[in-house]
A and B are shown apart, each in its own frame.
Chain A
Amino acid sequence: MNIVVLVKQVPDTWSERTLRPADNTLDRDAADAVINELDEYAIEEGLRLTEAHGGEVTIVSMGPEKAAEAIRKALSMGADKAVHLSDAALRGSDGLVSSAVLANVIGRSPFDLVILGSESTDARMGTLAAMLAERLGVPQMSFASKVDVDGSKITIHRQADYGYDTVEATLPAVVSVVEKINEPRYPSFKGIMAAKKKPVETLTLADIGFDPAQAGLAASPTEVVSFANRPPRQAGTIVADEGDGGTKAAEFLAARKFI
């Protein structure tokens, strides 16, 4: 199987994330950059599927030069090769534009599956799998907590608020995964060493024949007009339990008319 796994480098949730006042886009210098957490589950699922059915995992990532770190991590987990799309003209691209560019990169080679995390921890739109399925004209198998492939048939459990749905389709398909699906492996020392020799193809928009005027902030159909830090919450009342903590909590709830 030819499996493409999408990887995005994002600002670390544990660091101070902010926007650039100049153009209201993500300030990539302000925060530490890490691989998007849910992408590790996508990589793991890709590796498990190729271990069971043969084939190879190709990482595709769009992002600045620094995103090479996230790609290297994916390769050290065991992916075979990578494509890194990096172009200054991409800066500030919104979700819709990013999906157009990624669909273009993915469509350059035949694939059986495209796997990605169900959302990124920075933008948290949760729309990319749907957009890619629409653009590539293949089934959308999203929010998967379980994936089974049997020949050309794919079955997933789609996680829902009420439990899950079983969904079937024929390959090729786009699959997005949720955390529940597996336990991502840690890169081994051998994996880290091997990753240094794995091929990474670096492409620009010109290389894929995508008009730079159609990418980036200016070409994006959405824009952030302004932003402000959320005002800090007012300090609340904290009491130590002296045998009446539950009663005091109930009094608070009653005062606020919750009971």
Chain B
Amino acid sequence: MAEILVLAEHDGETVKKVTTELLTLARAHGEPAVVWTGAGAEGAKARLAEFGAAKVYVADSSDYDDYLVAPKAELLAKLVTEKSPAAVLVAATSEGREIAGRLAVKTGSGVLTDVTGLADGMVAEQSIFGGAITVQSKVRTGTPIIAVRPNAVSPEPASGAASIEAVSADITDAAKTAKVTGRVVAERGERPELTEASIVVSGGRGLGSGEHFALIEQLADSLGAAVGASRAATDAGWYPHQFQVGQTGKTVSPQLYMAIGISGAIQHRAGMQTSKTIMVVNKDPEAPIFELADFGVVGDLFKVVPQLIEEIGKRSEG
């Protein structure tokens, strides 16, 4: 069975959930071989084995984190030449897409981004125009490069050997031109990442101020959810821009999406309408967001949300 390369997303210790999703998808089409950059592969081996990784190619160098994107693309291009995989899977994160883009140029291969499923013959499903249209796409030249949307596939365990094989981590100077010199990590508590979270609670214009986002955070924390925001809220400076959900922000498809004080302009709907279940709280019964709601409450969010938080608290105690 042909190999499928899966680029691992990790923080040096822990494998991100999306990597287990990629492994689940890869298993249906070939033998998954993880590509691990930097340190930490030994520690992650058990987790990768648990999701069916046959091999783990490890290129251990800090350069992969110290320079943007190009070193990882170079490594994958080299492995594509050496291993002739049936496909390369990466997570459709900002960086994952960019790695895919550079790899496509290097190998002259087609690249598909934001893929939500992969059928026989590597036919990829994508959701476009803010979820209004579902397309089936194919790569017809080179090695298919597939960037998979986080949370689109349910990770399922299956055992694999995850045998570790060191590969060369030599990186050309040409790939080391954009140097990462610092990292500023914003405070977000223990909340899960927006695109990976199974529950997302978002706040919008109806909150009226940045201080009131504390209510959204409180609701999110009661559910172990991530916090999102509409563009109106990020433009007003009420919540940091990287948490924006919508056409010009993040696309999320969690199990549960809660839109609080969000009217649901198409700009916002484009980023969340593929969520499995949608709950809405808004005082305007005419708000277009109600069209998407599985359950909606027409009312004052400052009354409804505190009551909801209290009820969630009661039920989790009981």
A binding-site residues for B, Cβ under 8 Å: 13-14, 17-19, 24, 37-38, 94-96, 99, 118, 121-131, 133-135, 137-143, 145, 155, 157-170, 173, 178-180, 220-230, 233-234, 236-241, 243-250, 252-254, 256, 258-259
Given A241-B298, A241-B299, CB of A224 within 8 Å of CB of B135: yes
B181 touches A167 (CB 8 A): yes
A223 touches B98 (CB 8 A): no
Complex Cα gap A52–B133 (Å): 44
Name B184's contact: one of A134, A166, A179, A230 (CB within 8 Å).
A166
Chain A proximity of B151: nearest CB distance (Å)? 14
B residues 62-93 near A (Cβ < 8 Å) are: 68-70, 73, 93
A163 touches B185 (CB 8 A): yes
Chain B 107-132 against A: per-residue CB contact (8 Å), 1 yes, 0 no?
01111111000000001000111111
B311 touches A247 (CB 8 A): yes
- A129: which B residues are within 8 A, CB to CB? 98
Chain B 176-194 against A: per-residue CB contact (8 Å), 1 yes, 0 no?
0111111111101000011
Nearest A-chain residue to B312, judged by Cβ: A259
B135 touches A19 (CB 8 A): yes
Complex Cα gap A13–B249 (Å): 14
A167 touches B180 (CB 8 A): yes
Name A246's contact: one of B105, B131, B304 (CB within 8 Å).
B304
Name A180's contact: one of B68, B241, B277, B279 (CB within 8 Å).
B241
B174 touches A142 (CB 8 A): no
Given A142-B68, A237-B294, CB of A245 within 8 Å of CB of B98: no
Cβ-based interface call for B159 (8 A): no
Chain A proximity of B36: nearest CB distance (Å)? 20
- A162: which B residues are within 8 A, CB to CB? 183, 185-186, 188
Given A17-B129, A169-B179, A259-B223, CB of A163 within 8 Å of CB of B242: yes
Cβ-based interface call for B270 (8 A): yes
Given A221-B108, A230-B127, CB of A127 within 8 Å of CB of B137: no
Nearest A-chain residue to B315, judged by Cβ: A259
Q: Interface segment, B37-45, B53-61, B139-147, B162-170? A: B139-147
Given A134-B102, A245-B297, CB of A233 within 8 Å of CB of B180: no
Chain B proximity of A228: nearest CB distance (Å)? 6
Chain B proximity of A226: nearest CB distance (Å)? 5
B311 touches A133 (CB 8 A): no
Complex Cα gap A233–B270 (Å): 14
- B180: which A residues are within 8 A, CB to CB? 158, 165-167
By size class, the interface of chain B is 35 or more
Nearest A-chain residue to B196, judged by Cβ: A161
Chain A proximity of B157: nearest CB distance (Å)? 21
Chain B 276-318 against A: per-residue CB contact (8 Å), 1 yes, 0 no?
0111010001000011111111111001111111111001100
B105 touches A222 (CB 8 A): no
A220 touches B177 (CB 8 A): no
A134 touches B105 (CB 8 A): yes
Name A225's contact: one of B137, B306, B310 (CB within 8 Å).
B137
Given A166-B180, A166-B183, A253-B279, CB of A225 within 8 Å of CB of B304: no
Complex Cα gap A222–B68 (Å): 26
Complex Cα gap A77–B312 (Å): 51
B281 touches A245 (CB 8 A): yes
Select the residue from B129, B140, B188, B281 with max chain A CB neighbours within 10 A. Answer: B129
Closest 9 CB pairs of A and B: A246-B307, A241-B299, A127-B101, A221-B110, A250-B311, A221-B141, A130-B98, A166-B182, A246-B308
Complex Cα gap A221–B104 (Å): 10
Chain A proximity of B112: nearest CB distance (Å)? 6
- B129: which A residues are within 8 A, CB to CB? 17-18, 122
A222 touches B110 (CB 8 A): yes
Chain A proximity of B105: nearest CB distance (Å)? 4
- B100: which A residues are within 8 A, CB to CB? 127
- A245: which B residues are within 8 A, CB to CB? 281, 297-299, 303-304, 307-308
Complex Cα gap A38–B195 (Å): 21
Instruction: Write 6 A-B pairs (CB below 8 A) sorted by A numbering.
Output: A160-B94, A179-B244, A223-B140, A225-B136, A233-B278, A247-B308
B137 touches A223 (CB 8 A): yes
Chain A proximity of B276: nearest CB distance (Å)? 10
- A250: which B residues are within 8 A, CB to CB? 308, 311-312, 315
Complex Cα gap A238–B129 (Å): 27
Name A158's contact: one of B68, B141, B294 (CB within 8 Å).
B68
A238 touches B298 (CB 8 A): yes
Given A160-B242, A241-B299, CB of A140 within 8 Å of CB of B111: no
- B295: which A residues are within 8 A, CB to CB? 236-239, 249, 252
